[in-house]
């Protein structure tokens, strides 16, 4: 208590300029301390929600204000920021309130139908609800951040000729750093097509937030006309062939001492072949399908002429050749008509016609060519020269022998499934590889580690405040207080009792000089003492 009163009295005895400087210094110290404390207590903000609609944004802000949670907006205004420690908690609490709603309207729109609504409005509401439900389904994909679906559903007509097919377009907002493969894009298109009657998947267009068309029917492969699945199949054929070649060459020449490239020509055409072939019967005795014999004429005339002559002998009846099939176009061939006419002597008496049909061996083949057959393989292999190290430690490279190259060529042919009939080609070369001194990969310095940088910045904030506070205390406040105390200790204290000391305590000249110095330095203090004397009506000669 005494020290406080002494310090206060000493402060009151300072000149006005020193008093003002003291007050300003203490105010600056207090302001810096408050600012530093506020800075260190300011939380780190993180993103709560981004790209929310205006309605959802207003509802979220109102909910945060009710929770007394600090928030702010990002510089672009597209995100709501809250303290990082409360992000997950606030998301769950807002989700329990149904926020954000996302601005999508689904089939719940059909629950608010009003009485007397026209059929046109009902159709529009149904289309809006269907678009909202499809958008929600697409947004459930991990790589999709947002989605919008637009349906173009033409009016139904009773004429088949004038009927128009519906179409749809899908706009996707994909998460940064992610993408959709062609199968996922095709799945989205088929899902939309399956949800709308009479909508073919080819009429569904899918684009991303950058305007890139994702649902193109053809892929930008090196072969025109190949879709994504066909291109993938061709690449798998080439990769599998390269792996087989690598597996067989690695033990022989060592990993990294060869390179192999394969180009596959794949036939993706769909072809069907029907063939019908005929061939002669193997057993003609049992191959008669039908036989017809027709005879006409009168009686046999009496024999005439020289007895025993050939002219008196009756004609021999015609018989079918069953032992061997006759040539086509000759009598007795299948479908041919055999006509037997009597001899000149009996021409007027009779006629005999015979028709014989034989069975034929018929083969019908129905062949469907497989899709994705390999039409041709082109393989190129380059092998490095063999490395040899001399006794002095110097390395040299020598080409492989002709016998080794021939052996490698045969092994590669077997590994690739070489087929000369389909036009496969193989080229194996022995050439030295270019030697490049690979520079070691530099590891990321510890001072460039993002996690460490975050910790350092967080600790630097408190360190700066502590250092500034220490500097102000030890460099400004403490020296100023020490100077103030020294000035107060050197200054004489004037009271009523000690205004004039007793005779003999000091010389008269010293007392006068001290009074003058005091009046010069502290005129107010002297005036206060004199006022006390005058107010007390005490004679100067009786001062104690």
Q: Residue 238: which of 128, 335, 377 has the closest Cα? A: 377
Contact status, residue 354 vs residue 338, Cβ threshold 8 Å: yes
Cα separation of 9 and 168, whole Å?
89
Q: Which pLDDT score is estimated for 10?
A: 61
- Quick check: 331 pLDDT over 60? no
Phi, psi of 495 (to 5 degrees): -130, 180
pLDDT tens digit sequence for 472-491: 777 777 776 676 666 555 55
pLDDT tens digit sequence for 120-171: 888 888 888 888 889 888 988 888 888 889 999 888 776 666 678 899 999 9
Domain 228-278+361-434: which topology? GMP Synthetase; Chain A, domain 3 (3.30.300)
Q: How confident is the model at residue 205 (pLDDT cuts 50, 70, 90)?
A: very high
- DSSP assignment letter at 120: H
Give the angle 160-161-165 at the CA atoms, nearest 5°: 75
CATH code assigned to 113-217: 3.30.300.30
Q: Which pLDDT score is estimated for 436?
A: 60
Q: Which pLDDT score is estimated for 77?
A: 65
Q: Which pLDDT score is estimated for 503?
A: 47
CB atoms within 10 A of CB 376: 14
Q: Which pLDDT score is estimated for 343?
A: 47
- Quick check: 6 pLDDT over 80? no
pTM: 0.38
Give start and end residues of each alpha helix (H) in 254-377.
none
Give the angle 375-376-382 at the CA atoms, nearest 5°: 160
Out of 43-52, 96-105, 182-191, pick the least confident.
Answer: 96-105
pLDDT tens digit sequence for 402-411: 999 999 999 9
CB atoms within 10 A of CB 256: 9
Q: Which pLDDT score is estimated for 348?
A: 54
Q: E strand or H helix at 397, and its extent?
A: strand 395-398
Percentages (nearest 5) of helix, strand, coil residues in the chain: 45, 20, 35
CB atoms within 10 A of CB 371: 13
Q: Which pLDDT score is estimated for 342?
A: 45
pLDDT (average), residues 364-375: 84
Q: How confident is the model at residue 391 (pLDDT cuts 50, 70, 90)?
A: confident
Q: How confident is the model at residue 446 (pLDDT cuts 50, 70, 90)?
A: confident
Phi, psi of 37 (to 5 degrees): -65, -40
Contact status, residue 511 vs residue 464, Cβ threshold 8 Å: no
Residue 537, CA distances (Å) to 419, 501, 515, 541, 543 in order: 138, 20, 21, 12, 11
Class for domain 43-96, per CATH?
Answer: alpha beta
Tally the C-alpha atoms within 13 A of residue 382's C-alpha that lie toward its C-beta: 7
**Cα separation of the two ends of the chain:** 27
Q: Which residues of 496-528 are buried (b: 16+ CB within 10 A; e: fewer)?
A: eeebeeeeeeeeeeeeeeeeeebeeebeebbee
Q: E strand or H helix at 182, and its extent?
A: helix 182-195
Q: Residue 429: which of 384, 376, 386, 378 has the closest Cα? A: 384
pLDDT (average), residues 245-261: 91
pLDDT tens digit sequence for 288-309: 777 788 877 765 555 555 555 5
Q: Which pLDDT score is estimated for 11?
A: 63
* Contact residues for 178 (Cβ-Cβ < 8 A; gap 6+): 142, 143
pLDDT (average), residues 252-269: 90
Mean of per-residue pLDDT scores for the chain:
76
Q: Which pLDDT score is estimated for 43?
A: 73
Q: Which pLDDT score is estimated for 345?
A: 46
Q: In the chain, which segments carry CATH 3.30.70.1530?
A: 43-96
Give start and end residues of each alpha helix (H) in 310-380.
none
Q: Which of 72-81, 236-245, 457-466 has the highest mean pLDDT?
A: 236-245
Q: Which pLDDT score is estimated for 133?
A: 87
* Contact residues for 195 (Cβ-Cβ < 8 A; gap 6+): 130, 133, 134
């Amino acid at each position: 208590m005494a020290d406080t009163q002494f310090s206060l009295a000493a402060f009151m005895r300072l000149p006005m300029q020193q008093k003002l400087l003291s007050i300003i210094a203490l105010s600056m110290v207090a302001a810096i301390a408050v600012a530093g404390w506020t800075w260190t207590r300011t939380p780190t903000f993180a993103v709560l929600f981004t790209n929310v609609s205006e309605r959802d944004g207003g509802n979220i802000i109102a909910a945060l204000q009710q929770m007394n949670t600090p928030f702010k907006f990002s510089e672009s205004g597209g995100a709501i920021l809250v303290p990082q420690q409360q992000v997950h908690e606030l998301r769950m609490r807002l989700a329990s309130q149904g926020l954000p709603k996302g601005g999508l309207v689904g089939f719940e729109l059909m629950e608010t139908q009003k009485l007397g609504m026209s059929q046109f409005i009902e159709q529009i509401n149904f289309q809006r609800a269907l678009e909202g439900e499809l958008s929600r389904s697409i947004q459930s994909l991990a790589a999709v951040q947002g989605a919008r679906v637009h349906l173009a559903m033409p009016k139904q007509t009773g004429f088949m000729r004038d009927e128009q097919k519906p179409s749809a377009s899908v706009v996707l907002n994909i998460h940064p750093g992610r993408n959709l493969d062609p199968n996922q894009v095709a799945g989205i298109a088929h899902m939309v097509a399956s949800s709308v009657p009479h909508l073919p998947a080819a009429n569904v267009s899918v684009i991303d937030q950058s305007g890139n068309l994702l649902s193109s029917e053809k892929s930008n492969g090196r072969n025109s006309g190949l879709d994504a699945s066909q291109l993938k199949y061709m690449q798998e054929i080439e990769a599998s062939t390269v792996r087989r070649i690598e597996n067989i060459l690695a033990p022989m020449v060592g990993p990294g001492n060869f390179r192999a490239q394969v180009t596959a020509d794949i036939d993706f055409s769909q072809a069907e072949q029907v063939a019908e072939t005929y061939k002669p019967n193997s057993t003609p005795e049992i191959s008669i399908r039908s036989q017809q014999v027709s005879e006409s004429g009168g009686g046999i005339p009496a024999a005439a002429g020289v007895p025993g002559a050939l002219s008196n002998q009756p004609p021999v009846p015609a018989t079918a050749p069953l032992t061997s099939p006759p040539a086509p176009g000759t009598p007795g061939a299948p479908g041919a008509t055999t006509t037997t006419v009597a001899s000149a002597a009996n021409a007027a008496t009779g006629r005999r016609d015979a028709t014989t049909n034989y069975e034929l061996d018929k083969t019908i083949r129905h062949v469907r060519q497989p899709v994705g057959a390999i039409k041709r393989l082109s393989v190129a292999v380059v092998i490095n020269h063999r490395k040899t190290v001399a006794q002095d430690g110097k390395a040299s490279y020598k080409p492989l022998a002709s016998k080794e190259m021939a052996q490698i060529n045969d092994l590669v042919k077997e590994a690739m499934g070489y087929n000369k009939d389909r036009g496969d080609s193989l080229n194996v070369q022995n050439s030295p590889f270019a030697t490049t001194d690979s520079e070691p990969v530099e590891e990321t310095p510890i001072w460039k580690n993002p996690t460490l940088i975050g910790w350092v910045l967080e600790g630097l904030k408190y360190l700066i405040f502590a250092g500034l506070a220490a500097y102000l205390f030890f460099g400004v406040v403490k020296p100023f207080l020490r100077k103030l105390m020294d000035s107060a200790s050197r200054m004489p204290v004037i009271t009523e009792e000690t205004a004039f000391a007793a005779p003999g305590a000091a010389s008269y000249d010293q007392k006068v000089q001290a009074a003058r110095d005091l009046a010069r330095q502290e005129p107010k203090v002297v005036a206060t003492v004199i006022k006390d004397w005058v107010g007390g009506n005490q004679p100067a000669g009786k001062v104690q």
